Structure 1
Amino acid sequence: MKDLWRAVAHFARLSWHVDRRRLTTGLGLLLLGCLATPALAVALKHLAEALLDDRGPAAVGCALVAALFLVAELMLGHFAHLHYFELGELEEVELQNRLLAASGGPDTLERVGTPEFADALHLVREEVVRTRSALEAALQLVAIGVQTVVTMVLLALVEPVLALLPLLAVPPVLMGNRAQDLVERAKKRSAEDSRRTRDLLRLATAPGPAGEIRLAGAGPELGRRQAESWRAASTVLNRAQWSAAALRAAGQALFAAAYGAALLITVGTALAGRIGLGDVILVITLMVQISTQMTTFLGLFGTLQGAGRTLRRLAELDTAAPAPAEAADPAAPDGATPARLAHGIRFEHVSFRYPGAARPVLEDIDLEIPAGTTLALIGENGAGKSTLVKLLCGLYRPTSGRILVDGTDLADLDAAAWRSRVAALLQDFARYELPLRQTVGLGDLRPGTEPGTDDAALADALARADAAAVAAALPQGPDQLLGKGYGDGAELSGGQWQKLGLARTLLRPAPLLLVLDEPASALDAEAEHTLFDGYGATARTRALAHGSVTVLVTHRFSTVRRAERILVLADGRVREWGTHEDLMAARGLYAELYTLQAGAYV
């Protein structure tokens, strides 16, 4: 019941805020339409009595009144719909915006990466499109409640015990609530299989991996796994649906028995001469209406409960996603975040363990990165390089220890202000299917400005990322739509997407931290050399102007040796640390890996 009242309160509050005139007009029309239903029963009673008494003019008048009430019953709901339909759409948009904020995640990613968060997100994403009808359900619930009270009064005037009939609809409602709880628990249990079903279907039908799937002959295997996950989810859901159907049927059978008993009481009262034929017609008409009211009420109850559960799950997701803040202006004061790095960034005995993981990914990392330094991170896959980068960016917080930025704990800095001073191209960079100027322009979002409108800054970032040729080759230049998802856009290669991602990173002004995680993985050797020549100049300029620290994660030692400091990670710990010359002289892991890779080119 809490979910139902949560939904009613939410949609009433939001509708009142958005457009109270439409809300009150729509509700008023619904109430008039619902009151026309018992009024129709009263008109039919008087019509029957006029016919029995052979009062022709009175019968005609009653018939006209009954027809008027019937038209009102049928039409007023449609006119009400015209007033509140747009409100329902606006409320759905509001919930979708909340879902976007929640899926964007909090300042840190620990909770976002958990299966529990993914399951809740999947359920809300599936259900939010169904909330558009929740406002209509809430208004109709109010109108039917008023209608039921009027019906009870009319029945009590004929035979007091009949007024209890609407109350006998309560057990079916409660049993329907119990049935819906069974279904919701089943949805939660099957969420993982449902997500896997959808993901496998998307993978098997997406154009990107189509070539690899066909070459590997993996289509049938993906289909088998998708069908297996679908069967697992369906088995849980079907079992719950059958149990829920049995509960609902039992509740409706109870009401049917009460309905039959009320008919017997009415017939007995009429045979005893205490009521006339008009009263019998009134009672039977009202009883039919009560049956319809109960069926409608159960449907509305389920709709509002579903909307309430969606709101509850969304509220749980909201706890992991604070209200979005405006993008910080790097030129403005930003609290504890320094305008320029004077000393650098220090790791003090930093360890990090992912939620639910058996062992830490990083353990007791203790090092200092001086301001203006270019740092290269190397290590085998799984050594913790990308995790260390995300700690630096503030996307994760250390499980123990702390990261100091010019002596201030990174956890104490304003998250939005720090992110506005970080320019990062991560390994899993986004491919925004937007016009090119917006795809790159998202790297510098400022309040009151449209991304990518500064042509000079855009051209400079493209040039420094060796991506000017990508824009020049497009038919519409920077205004060309990219990708085929939303129109006839240009298809780009992996290397071209990566160059645009790098341009997006380089567009951000005044960064204190520049991060490139495998920045040249999709580039050929010549393009990589050109890119790092340009990027090296950018890093030096930023280091002089802002004391910026540059962090490179790469497996290519031709890039690594350009860095001023090299950090070698192994099993989540610092294995080696120093300059290229120092590490080569130490003849440790770095020297071994460097020699091994260099030998491959001899």
Structure 2
Amino acid sequence: MRSLRIFRLWLTTSFRAAPLPMAISTVLVAARAVTAPTQTYGVSRLVDGLAADRPSTIGWGIGIIVAGLAVAFVADVVGFPLQTTAQERMAGRVHADLLDVTTGIPGLAHHERPDVSDRLEIVRERAWRMGAGSEVLLWLFGTVTNTVTVLSLLGSVHPLLLLLPLLGTARIWSAYLSSTRQQKAWEDSMPQERLVDRLIEVAKDPRTGLELRVFGLGQVLLDRIFSLQTERFRRRVDAARWGGKVDGAVRLVFGLAYAGAVVWVVARARAGEQTAGDVVLVLLLASQVDQMTGGIAQNVYWVGEVVRSFSRYDWLREYAKDNSWKAGTTPAPARLTSGIELRNVGFAYPGADSAVLSGIDLRLPAGSAIALVGENGAGKTTLVKLLARMYDPTTGQVLVDGTDLASIAPDSWRAQLSAGFQDFVKFELIVREVVGLGDVGRMSDEAAVGLAVSRGDAESVVAGLPRGLDTQLGKKFTDGVELSGGQWQRLALARAFMRERPLLLLLDEPTAALDPEAEHRLYEQYAAAAKIAAAETGGITVLVSHRFSTVRMADLIVVMHQGRIEEVGTHEALLAANTRYADLFNLQARAYR
């Protein structure tokens, strides 16, 4: 059942990508596939006609040969550009589908699981083989057509000669064994390949250049890359050598058998049991039978590669379907009335042995500003990800105005969010696009982008650029400008301000690259924006920060420790309690003094 589904996916993807070029190419490939054996038959008729002095047979032979040349000419001239067009459209369709399927997975779990990451990497790396699927499909069709024609001609001489192609199919078996072993070697070396790619990125990334040179890590990286590459290539070369030996042995046996068949047909011709044309036909078909079986062997390899690639693609589609959160169909509310509540929430990352969060009971009132504090690893960022529904809790529920967040459509919920993160993305685009991405629907709104830049305290950054909002960022581009970490962060903050009235504003240490004074000024702007959002939509602001001078302005401070909530209260109440929050606050205050 799955095999049929994979073949149907291959077939439909090929013809959907380029319906007319594929239809015409199929006809031309079939015509081209029969020309060589048919012309060989024409030569045999010509020889028989000359030997028996039969003009009609000579005419038939010449006519078949000339017709074959004409068909081959048309098929080659017209077919090649059509097949190239079909292949290019197929490649574009496959890559677009892969991007659509991958980005359509609403959660982040597939990024956290090594087994899934390996399979995703294989899908990405071998996507070009799916792109060649249209060509392989046509090749396969042509090979089948050619095989039927060759078998018909051999059978017309003597049925026993049909054993030769059957013997030649041993090459198919050897090709299958070879491709299976090579595929196994390739998959086994996938972890090394991913690590090599990452190390190469580290070696050439300008951002890592300083530390590489200071600590003298260049040679260390090169040695590690060389060692991993050597191990990768050793596995693959061993598999290729084994396949070459098996294929060579099979071809030798087939060659000897065909030589014996030719001698047998010549002996029958001398005894008057076959014609001279039959001898010529068998002789000329020798190379075609070898090419036919070789073509089938190559097709077995490439068909296997394409089928495996589409099998992985089918797995990805099924994975995306199973993890699409289709149960979430309820639209997100337009405003919050009671707020967000977490009930006995626990969470463990995929494949992890222990939970990051456990027993979380917390209520975030509508219109409130909440600060999350605690040591590194306390679970603050994970809690933020659950609120954004990048993951579903392992246990418990997240309720939005009493409705389970798992039942709300992910896209609808995220359309009501805005966020600023410490690990923000450096989009190397035009500045207005870098900011406008925070609300794609208003990206072209000049006033909205300008207001977001002002609210994100990024006016000085834009003013210092050669073309203002129209400046291209990134040194990889002509006239591209590189920014400092703090400048990039201000643009990321401006991006978070593009949505003016979010139901949930998530700020996970978004000002880590800024000085305390700039951070305080920005948080005052966030607080002002939060009050407006609270009044109009009941919006909630969640702030994660290690600087206690900023979190004190929050309505409610949540102290986390080892994945649990230890304290909840206002700044004054928590100081008066004189427990963990007070200890952390006083420790930081003494450092500033």
**TM-score of the two chains, using structure 2 as the length reference:** 0.93
Distance 1:257 1:567, change over 3 A: farther
Residues 63-105 of structure 1: CA distance to partner in whole angstroms, max 9, x if unpaired?
Answer: 6853553464366234212113222212212221232234436
Measured on the aligned residues, the alpha-carbon RMSD in Å equals 2.5
1:335 CA drift (Å): 3.5
Give, as a single letter, the amino acid of the residue that structure 1 aligns with 2:22: L
Instruction: Quote the residue 1:152 is aligned against.
Output: 151
Distance 1:248 1:9, change over 3 A: farther
Instruction: Quote the residue 1:460 is aligned against.
Output: 451
Identify the range of structure 1 (207-216 vs 162-171) with the bigger mean alpha-carbon deviation.
162-171
The count of corresponding residues between Structure 1 and Structure 2 is 589
Give, as a single letter, the amino acid of the residue that structure 2 aligns with 1:270: A
Mapped partners of 2:109, 2:569: distance in 1: 31
Instruction: Quote the residue 2:137 is aligned against.
Output: 138
1:208-287 matches, cutoff 5 A = 208-287=207-286
Give, as a single letter, the amino acid of the residue that structure 2 aligns with 1:564: D
Instruction: Quote the residue 2:174 is aligned against.
Output: 175
Is the contact between residue 111 and residue 320 of structure 1 (CA under 8 Å) also seen in structure 2?
A: no
Give, as a single letter, the amino acid of the residue that structure 1 aligns with 2:384: V
1:371 CA drift (Å): 0.8
Instruction: Quote the residue 2:381 is aligned against.
Output: 386
Give, as a single letter, the amino acid of the residue that structure 1 aligns with 2:396: G
Residues 353-403 of structure 1: CA distance to partner in whole angstroms, max 9, x if unpaired?
Answer: 112211110110111111111111111111111111101100011111111
Mapped partners of 1:298, 1:380: distance in 2: 61
> What runs of 5+ residues in structure 1 fail to find an aligned partner?
326-333
Residues 510-556 of structure 1: CA distance to partner in whole angstroms, max 9, x if unpaired?
Answer: 31110011111111233223222222211111111111111111111
**From 554, 558, 581, the counterpart of 1:590:** 581
User: Is residue 2:399 matched to residue 1:404?
Assistant: yes
Mapped partners of 2:2, 2:340: distance in 1: 49
Mapped partners of 2:475, 2:10: distance in 1: 37
User: Is residue 2:472 matched to residue 1:481?
Assistant: yes
Distance 1:75 1:247, change over 3 A: farther
Is the contact between residue 350 and residue 363 of structure 1 (CA under 8 Å) also seen in structure 2?
A: yes
Mapped partners of 1:442, 1:55: distance in 2: 81
Is the contact between residue 11 and residue 91 of structure 1 (CA under 8 Å) also seen in structure 2?
A: no
1:65-76 matches, cutoff 5 A = 66=65, 69-70=68-69, 72-73=71-72, 76=75
User: Is residue 2:493 matched to residue 1:502?
Assistant: yes
Instruction: Quote the residue 2:564 is aligned against.
Output: 573
1:206 CA drift (Å): 1.6
Is the contact between residue 427 and residue 519 of structure 1 (CA under 8 Å) also seen in structure 2?
A: yes
Instruction: Quote the residue 1:335 is aligned against.
Output: 330
User: Is residue 2:303 matched to residue 1:304?
Assistant: yes
Identity %: 37
Mapped partners of 1:55, 1:336: distance in 2: 84
1:525-564 matches, cutoff 5 A = 525-564=516-555
Is the contact between residue 30 and residue 77 of structure 1 (CA under 8 Å) also seen in structure 2?
A: no
Mapped partners of 1:204, 1:585: distance in 2: 51
Give, as a single letter, the amino acid of the residue that structure 2 aligns with 1:476: R
Is the contact between residue 94 and residue 131 of structure 2 (CA under 8 Å) also seen in structure 1?
A: no
1:12 CA drift (Å): 3.1
Give, as a single letter, the amino acid of the residue that structure 2 aligns with 1:519: P
Give, as a single letter, the amino acid of the residue that structure 1 aligns with 2:424: F
Mapped partners of 1:503, 1:397: distance in 2: 29
Is the contact between residue 6 and residue 308 of structure 1 (CA under 8 Å) also seen in structure 2?
A: no
1:191 CA drift (Å): 1.0
User: Is residue 2:438 matched to residue 1:443?
Assistant: yes
Mapped partners of 2:22, 2:346: distance in 1: 55
Mapped partners of 2:5, 2:363: distance in 1: 51
Mapped partners of 1:78, 1:301: distance in 2: 27
Is the contact between residue 101 and residue 323 of structure 1 (CA under 8 Å) also seen in structure 2?
A: no
**TM-score of the two chains, using structure 1 as the length reference:** 0.92
Give, as a single letter, the amino acid of the residue that structure 2 aligns with 1:185: K
Mapped partners of 2:58, 2:276: distance in 1: 15
1:182 CA drift (Å): 1.8
Identify the range of structure 1 (508-517 vs 400-409) with the bigger mean alpha-carbon deviation.
508-517
Identify the range of structure 1 (71-80 vs 460-469) with the bigger mean alpha-carbon deviation.
71-80
